[in-house]
Amino acid sequence: MIVRNSGRLIARATSPRNREARRLIIQAIEAALTSVDPIRVMKNRVGLKGNVLCVEGFRLDLRRFRRVIVIGAGKATAGMASGLEEVMGRKITIGLVNTPRGAQVKSKTKKIVFHEAGHPLPDYNGVQGTREMLRLIANVDENDLVICLFSGGGSAMMPLPADGISLADERKVTAALLKAGASISEINAVRKHISRCKGGRLAELLYPAQVLTLVFSDVVDDRLDVIASGPTVPDISTFHDSIDVLKKYGIWPDVPQTVRSVLLDGANGKRRETPKPGDRVFHRVHNFILCNNRAACNAAVEQFRKSGLNSLLLTAYLEGEAREAGRFLSSMIKEVEFFGGLLSKPAAIVLGGETTVRVSGVGRGGPNQELALCACMTIQELDGVAVGSVGTDGIDGPTDAAGALVDGATVSRARRFGLDPSHYLRKNDSYSFFSRLGDLVFTGSTGTNVNDLSFAVVL
């Protein structure tokens, strides 16, 4: 089982219908995460026919190249690298990918080295791994093939600050943007302009080698220039945009002077911009998204249908404040429960995307836990109704939980323990609330990352 505490989560329910609703959601979580397993996806989407490497109809005759080098970073790269090596075997010359620090990597490789790096804040280990990658590609030319593997988390896990900026300064800016609730595209617009490898700059370093970039998307609209900060993709953001983001969230006055100087120099034309569309460095680069949030959502919908539920993927573009998303999902539940206009019962609703939390309290939690906390306050006293929300990487915010699972009796259970859900919501302390109730979902690090998933079941 991927959900380690599935039995206990089901047992928390106080009625048979709530137990069944919880069980169905756990089954959907299992199906969704299995469908986006990196090893499985790589073996299904990348093929080798003789000496020809095939990806999405694109073909490369490996006899053209003297070396095949693999580099990359992200939460899914260990599995991606393992799957790629199973497909290509000895065709790979050498490789190194940055993987999550502390994750129990089950994948094994012979040619590709795994190097631990920090997330969500970059660390020195990540810098060391990035420098080692640059050493591997230092002398590439048109006779080399470099395969880049990127997934969610790649921005933090492949750090190399621009000249004049320290790692500590980069960490401070990243932490401030995360706390402010900035979107991933906004955060990465800033990261691209304070880094030596992001925003297409890796493509500059790899030119004129042949580059094949394989991607697991953790971005709502699958924008290649945003995923892992687009190391091999033209960048449409600018230094001016980066400054605007920092000012939008009131962070600019507190940004380290070194960062402000780099961004202002760039905005004034004293530093070279990131490479833009049409730049020759992209002429030999091919980028492919192999897996995304929609794939996980579709697998969940299929699982619900197998279980006899009328199921709907409402959206794979969910964004905004987590608590507002929780209220929205609850309104969909009430529509089904009382009117049946959206779906007839028994029903399941699936949403995918990435919500954020604007932190104003001093508690712990992540967007999936906050979404579930807000939802349970709206569905209280409804029997046979449950909501689950999880991060596909198994890590929701700065916690050890993937998310949370609630039902119509969660609030009444909480009150018996003397817990006021509104109090915990105000403090952004959803983790403590669900920890007391035993409603946190634990998967551990899943080895993948395609954003978040939210489910509602109405029996």
* pLDDT, tens digit, 9 for 90 and up, residues 8-63: 999 999 999 999 999 999 999 999 999 999 999 999 999 999 999 999 999 999 99
Dist. CA 180–CA 420, nearest whole Å? 25
Q: DSSP code of 209?
A: S
Closest among 427, 450, 443, 457 to 323, alpha carbons compared: 427
Q: What whole-number percentage of the chain has pLDDT above 70?
A: 99
Bridge partners (DSSP) listed for residue 205? none
Measured in degrees and rounded to the nearest 5, phi and psi for residue 309 equal -100, 145
Determine the pLDDT at residue 5. Answer: 97
Residue 138 CA to its chain's centroid (Å): 29
* pLDDT, tens digit, 9 for 90 and up, residues 282-292: 999 999 999 99
Dist. CA 218–CA 45, nearest whole Å? 18
The CATH superfamily holding the domain 38-160+195-237+274-291 is: Glycerate kinase, MOFRL-like N-terminal domain (3.40.50.10180)
pLDDT tier at 363, thresholds 50, 70, 90:
confident
451 by Cβ neighbours in 10 Å (0-12 / 13-18 / 19+) ranks as buried
What are the sequence ranges of the domains in the chain? 6-35+297-458, 38-160+195-237+274-291
Dist. CA 368–CA 429, nearest whole Å? 12
What residue type is assigned to position 250 of the chain? G
Dist. CA 290–CA 89, nearest whole Å? 20
Which CATH number fits the domain 6-35+297-458, given the four candidates 3.30.565.10, 3.40.1480.10, 3.40.190.10, 3.30.160.20? 3.40.1480.10
Determine the pLDDT at residue 362. Answer: 81
pTM: 0.92
Given a cut of 90, whether residue 105 has pLDDT beyond it is no
Q: List, as one string, the DSSP characters of 327-394.
A: HHHHHHHHHHHHT-SS-PSSEEEEEEE--B----SS----HHHHHHHHHHHHSTT-TTEEEEEEETTS
Residue 263, CB-side half-sphere exposure with 13 Å CA sphere: 27
Q: How many residues does the chain have?
A: 459
